[in-house]
Copies of this chain bind each other. A is one copy, B any other.
Amino acid sequence: MNQDYITPNPWSIIEDGFEVDRVQSSESLFSIGNGSMGQRANFEETYTGPSFQGSYIGGVYYPDKTRVGWWKNGYPEYFAKVLNAPNWIGINVIINDEILDLFSCKKVENFRRELNMKEGWLGRSFEATLQNDITIKVDIKRFLSLDQEELGVIDYHITPLNSEAKITFIPYLDSGITNQDTNWEDQFWKTTNKEVSDKQGFIESHTLKTFYHVCTFMESHLFLNGNKSETKGKPLQKEIEVSISFEEQVAQGNTLSLQKYAGYTTSLNHDKSELISAATSVLEKATSEGFEGLLNTQKQAWSEIWKMSDISIDGDVKAQQGIRFNIFQLNQTYTGTDHRLNIGPKGFTGEKYGGSTYWDTEAYCIPFYMATKDQQVARNLLKYRYNHLEKAIENAEKLGFTNGAALYPMVTMNGEESHNEWEITFEEIHRNGAIAYAIFNYHRYTGDYSYIPEMGLEVLIAIARFWEQRATFSTQKNKYVILGVTGPNEYENNVNNNFYTNYIAKWCIDYAVENLRKVEIEYATDYERILQKTKLTTTEIESMLEVADNMYFPYSEEHGVYLQQDGFLDKEMVKVDDLDQDMRPINQHWSWDRILRSPYIKQADTLQGFYFFEHHFKKEEIEKHFDFYEPFTVHESSLSPCVHSIQAALLDRMEQAYAFYLRTSRLDLDDYNKEVKEGCHITSMAGTWMSIVEGFGGMRVKNDQLHFAPKIPKEWTSYSFKVNFRDRILKVEIGHDNTNFTLEKGNQLQIVVNGATVEVK
């Protein structure tokens, strides 16, 4: 654990005390979002210390020019940059002509932040003594409305404590933002219109190239001791900023407060000529409800979310705080209502990694959304990939594949590849497998087969075609090999016969052909349509099966395990525990070549295969592979500990499982990888959920039935979660001596607990 300044609390993330060095980490941890937009927890008022400003609108991106040292054929010319959007949270505060700036105050006391996850708001309070010796008490609450996704609200209170003071609030909108990750002075936004009155302000701007039109808007109301003030605001305009100044003399002990209603209307949801009128409607509705009214609606909306997705843990407040933080962030990032959006690896908490969609969605996020939301949400995620199929085929064509073979991009925003590192972009092709696996997993869990004849089978055929073409027949081995790949473990590049990749490739072909046959028999019309569209021939199917049936898997007779890739055992096999601990994390201490020739595994790779295909292997095999690979795994990817936690639990190694659980659930809160200031690891948070439900709870779906093998870490008294399974809501409560299953929706459900069939009512 690398930091521990977050106060343990079951429902809130709390920081006590102001430290300049923690500001950027806290900006990440206290981020808020409502699925449609989100923002880092930047201060509203001026702050001149180190800060990472971030405000993001879902689906709004910029195709930035790829710049690499050495160009390789096949690189995309552009990558989808997650754009920092115009800032609407800003409120400059002036106390007797001195700007409030926590970085330059004489004293800051009783500083406290709270991210109240139960109710969905961010609070901040402090007492500051300025250089002019005036001490003020400040109390701020802010949230992004779940109910009105274009709206955010701020309530900003100031009380002068040791004298009267002239207090000036200057709420503003600033369109002059830039990205932190830009090395050059590019502009991404063009401002086209500004309007400002004594109460409201609007800035219209659009992104360059992609022409997303956005109206950033605000309206502010002033209150003295809770009573609406009659003081008029003074409107001001700068080149790319509008602001309104409210000034009032405030007696010692009195409280002046500003309520700011603000947000974005965008051309994603409105005609671009109607953005201001749409914004005006939002403001009208919002101000008529008022801050307290909106806050109540917000609490209500979060209460609905928690009702289904909460996991409660008794007896271990840090574990409790961790899982809720993960669930909260997932719900802030993606609500499932907009099929154009996806789950970005940093959500709305940072801008690292361009694009929004990685294989993380299929491999890690789908189980969470399947079990805690309506099944339409998971189906939307699958549909997202179906909508991108044509672009995935074009992408494969760029790399020399033909005849409708698809390679889904490593990173994407609109279906086009957005990544530019050959060993990943061109070689981390196992991602194709996860997309097929998600189809299998969706059907297994929801029982909804309709997606496959309607859309999924086309995806499966295109992926199977890819693998058929990508495999090479080795006359040496008399088998099909897959050369030059990067597996999930990105600490190996351009290796041959990565077990995980070969295994999922074979599976993809088998699964595609299996479904082809099923659709042929059961959905004849769809079958005809698909055959006509894909021009799939019997010869091609035979050729695919020839590859699948003769796939090579590297295996060590000596160790009785499949090898991560050819030549793995030539490495210097020093276990992680025997490594100089000063060298860790190795990605911050070793040059890339040293990492590559070491045996260290960044994230579950062979074990990811055993996780996905657990049902293909005996427990002894899983154990043998776990014992072989775990000691070499450094977990320097956020996606790693959850898989190990699930497997450790399966193998009854509860201490290890618990350690991995803490690591995955508190990865950001405790900043294990020393990088939380860049943003949180959103997608792996779904892995945390899995490590409880699938790990400790042992939940699996087999033959249309939910199975459980409940376990509990010794540190916990009990824990409980709910899953939505085929229109029933099942509550699972697990203690040390008892397990309760209750149906909260639906009449009855047959489940299997530790091998025994149980009827739940």
In the complex, A467 Cα to B571 Cα: how many Å?
16
In the complex, A257 Cα to B435 Cα: how many Å?
73
Q: Do the beta carbons of B183 and A67 come within 8 Å of each other?
A: yes
- With A420-B69, A494-B494 in contact, is A476–B592 under 8 Å at CB? no
Residue A7 at the B interface, CB < 8 A? no
- With A426-B593, A570-B496, A571-B483 in contact, is A70–B400 under 8 Å at CB? no
- With A426-B591, A472-B571 in contact, is A69–B66 under 8 Å at CB? yes
What is the minimal beta-carbon distance from A60 to any residue of chain B, in angstroms?
A: 22
Q: Report chain B residues within 8 Å CB of A597.
A: 472, 483-484
What is the minimal beta-carbon distance from A590 to any residue of chain B, in angstroms?
A: 6
Interface hits, A400-436 → B, CB 8 Å: 400, 420-423, 426-427
In the complex, A87 Cα to B220 Cα: how many Å?
60
Residue A74 at the B interface, CB < 8 A? yes
Contact partner, A593, options B473, B484, B495, B596, Cβ 8 Å: B484
Q: Do the beta carbons of B570 and A476 come within 8 Å of each other?
A: yes
Q: Report chain B residues within 8 Å CB of A423.
A: 423, 493-494
Residue A481 at the B interface, CB < 8 A? yes
Q: Report chain B residues within 8 Å CB of A587.
A: 73
What is the minimal beta-carbon distance from A175 to any residue of chain B, in angstroms?
A: 24
Contact partner, A400, options B422, B427, B475, B590, Cβ 8 Å: B590
Residue A616 at the B interface, CB < 8 A? no
Q: Report chain B residues within 8 Å CB of A496.
A: 567, 570
Residue A163 at the B interface, CB < 8 A? no
Contact partner, A399, options B399, B567, B571, B593, Cβ 8 Å: B593
Residue A72 at the B interface, CB < 8 A? yes
User: In this complex, what residue of B is CB-closest to A419?
Assistant: B69
- With A72-B591, A426-B593, A591-B426 in contact, is A566–B569 under 8 Å at CB? no
In the complex, A572 Cα to B474 Cα: how many Å?
7
Interface hits, A35-81 → B, CB 8 Å: 65-70, 72-74
Residue A184 at the B interface, CB < 8 A? yes
What is the minimal beta-carbon distance from A492 to any residue of chain B, in angstroms?
A: 9
Residue total for A at the interface (Cβ-Cβ under 8 A)? 50
Q: Do the beta carbons of A69 and B72 come within 8 Å of each other?
A: no
Residue A398 at the B interface, CB < 8 A? yes
Residue A761 at the B interface, CB < 8 A? no
Q: Report chain B residues within 8 Å CB of A65.
A: 183
In the complex, A386 Cα to B457 Cα: how many Å?
64
Q: Report chain B residues within 8 Å CB of A591.
A: 72-74, 398-400, 426
Residue A285 at the B interface, CB < 8 A? no
In the complex, A66 Cα to B67 Cα: how many Å?
11
- With A69-B67, A184-B184, A494-B493 in contact, is A427–B572 under 8 Å at CB? no
Contact partner, A474, options B70, B473, B475, B569, Cβ 8 Å: B569
Residue A589 at the B interface, CB < 8 A? yes
User: In this complex, what residue of B is CB-closest to A68?
Assistant: B69
Q: Report chain B residues within 8 Å CB of A594.
A: 399-400
Q: Mark A476-492, 1 if CB is under 8 A from B, else 0.
A: 11000101100000000
User: In this complex, what residue of B is CB-closest to A572?
Assistant: B472
Residue A537 at the B interface, CB < 8 A? no
In the complex, A97 Cα to B114 Cα: how many Å?
75
Interface hits, A523-579 → B, CB 8 Å: 566-567, 569-573
In the complex, A481 Cα to B571 Cα: how many Å?
9
What is the minimal beta-carbon distance from A288 to any residue of chain B, in angstroms?
A: 49
Q: Report chain B residues within 8 Å CB of A589.
A: 73
Residue A588 at the B interface, CB < 8 A? yes
What is the minimal beta-carbon distance from A439 to any residue of chain B, in angstroms?
A: 25
What is the minimal beta-carbon distance from A684 to any residue of chain B, in angstroms?
A: 19
Interface hits, A437-485 → B, CB 8 Å: 472-477, 481, 483-484
In the complex, A569 Cα to B478 Cα: how many Å?
11
User: In this complex, what residue of B is CB-closest to A426?
Assistant: B593
In the complex, A427 Cα to B593 Cα: how many Å?
7
In the complex, A398 Cα to B571 Cα: how many Å?
21
Q: Do the beta carbons of A592 and B426 come within 8 Å of each other?
A: yes
Q: Report chain B residues within 8 Å CB of A74.
A: 591-593
Contact partner, A570, options B72, B477, B569, B573, Cβ 8 Å: B477
Q: Do the beta carbons of B570 and A483 come within 8 Å of each other?
A: yes
What is the minimal beta-carbon distance from A310 to any residue of chain B, in angstroms?
A: 38
Q: Report chain B residues within 8 Å CB of A588.
A: 73
Q: Report chain B residues within 8 Å CB of A572.
A: 472-473
Q: Report chain B residues within 8 Å CB of A426.
A: 591-593
User: In this complex, what residue of B is CB-closest to A573?
Assistant: B475
Q: Report chain B residues within 8 Å CB of A68.
A: 68-69
CB-defined A-B contacts under 8 Å, sample of 23: A66-B69, A67-B67, A67-B69, A67-B183, A68-B69, A70-B421, A73-B587, A73-B588, A73-B589, A73-B591, A73-B592, A426-B591, A472-B570, A472-B571, A474-B569, A475-B569, A475-B573, A476-B570, A484-B593, A496-B570, A566-B566, A566-B567, A567-B567
Closest 6 CB pairs of A and B: A74-B591, A426-B593, A483-B597, A484-B597, A72-B592, A474-B570
